[in-house]
Structure formats: structure tokens, C-alpha cells
Amino acid sequence: MIRISAGLVLLLAALPAALASQGAPSDAAPAARAPVVYRLLADSRLEVKTGKSGFFSFLAHEHIIRAGGFEGEVHYQADNVTATTISIRIHTDSLEVLTPPDTAEIRKVTEAMREDVMHVTQYPEIIFHSTKVSGGPADYRVTASFTMHGVTREMTVPVRVEFAGDTLVAKSTFDLKQTDFGIKPYRGGPGGIARVADKVEFRIEARGLPQ
């Protein structure tokens, strides 16, 4: 018969608790920090620059269009770039033509752009939602679904992240074709002979404060 001393019994009973009190191994990876959520500010900005096209392009104008209605968030994590996301909603009824300087012409072109080109009642939002982020710590490559005029396409664009005090500023400039989103480029002049070019340049500056 094997005899077990009372001391050995107490030692075996205490062993699990002692092991548990030691915790995880010292080389275990620390838990990742949660992203900081930045809510977009009203002074965020989208600008669209249009070009001229066609034989009678000299009759057309190059326009700058600006949107002032923004919503969205940036979930930013500097030490884990894949956890960073950008989500932006732009209200199309806030789009306004800034050029040419003639006030009456601006009103006319803005109305045509909203009603005849962008159809803002039917398509009230432009949506940018990231699906993959790489790079950093300041310059990123962002793959996103971009929805405009009821059409969604995937694109990869450069995004630069800067900080001005507590304010996060995310900037991106990229080109796209209006016809890829079912948009018919604007035509003006007699018989529509002056045309806006299919390719336009988007400039986004998203500004946010931490929540």
C-alpha cells in the first residue's frame, strides 16, 4: 500500500492555485488598444473639379463644385493599421458650383448640376466606406466602396492623415469617370455643344474630433 503524507496532499491541493496566480507567460502579446473614434466636423469638405471636353470645349467652363453637408466617422488606430476605418456620407443637395464668378450663372449651373446631372432627390447621398487600410503612419492606401448616383464601385485611393491639435485631418485626391456611375456629363450652350469632361477630380478633406 502506498502512503501519501498529509503535507504532500496539501502541496498538491495548492498547486493549481499557485499556477493560476502566475498569469500568462511573460512573452504573451499585449492586448490591442481600441481605435479612437473621430466624428466628422461641419467644416469637412469635398471639392470636385471638372474639365472641358469636345471640339467646342472653349465654350465650356471648368467648374469647382463643393459639398458642405457631411456626416461620418474615422476609427483611427496608429499601432494597428488594419483596424482603422473611414466612413463618410455627403449630402448631394449641399453640392454648390463655385465658378464662374457670375452669381446668376452659378445659380443656373448649380440647379442644372443638382437636378439634371446628380438627380439629388433620387440619390441624396455620396457614400465612401473603407474596406481595407494599409500603409501608415501618415500615408495610407485605402480600399473603399464608393457609392454615387446609385452605383457602387470599389476603388483604392491615397489618404494622408495629419493632426492639428486634437483634430484629425484625413485628405485624399483621386480621379473618377462620371459615366462609371451612370452619370451623363453636363452639356451646355446651343444644342449642348459645350461639354464637361467625363473624368473629374475629387478632393476630400475630412476633419474630426475624438468622441
The 10 Å CB-count burial string (b at 16+, else e) for 94-127 is ebbbeeeeeeeebeebbeebbeebbebeebeebb
Domain 35-210 has CATH 3.90.79.10: no
Q: Residue ranges per domain, the chain?
A: 35-210
Q: How far, in Å, CA of 96 to CA of 188, rounded?
A: 17
Whether residue 94 is predicted with pLDDT greater than 90 in this model: the reply is: yes
Residue 158: pLDDT band (50, 70, 90) is very high
pTM: 0.76
Residue 115 is classified by DSSP as I
Cβ–Cβ < 8 Å for 132, 124: no
Residue 91: pLDDT band (50, 70, 90) is very high
Residue 80 is classified by DSSP as -
Q: Give Dmax (Cα) for the chain.
A: 112
Each residue's pLDDT tens digit, 38-56:
999 999 999 999 886 433 3
pLDDT confidence of residue 30: 55
Residue with cell 446651343: 190
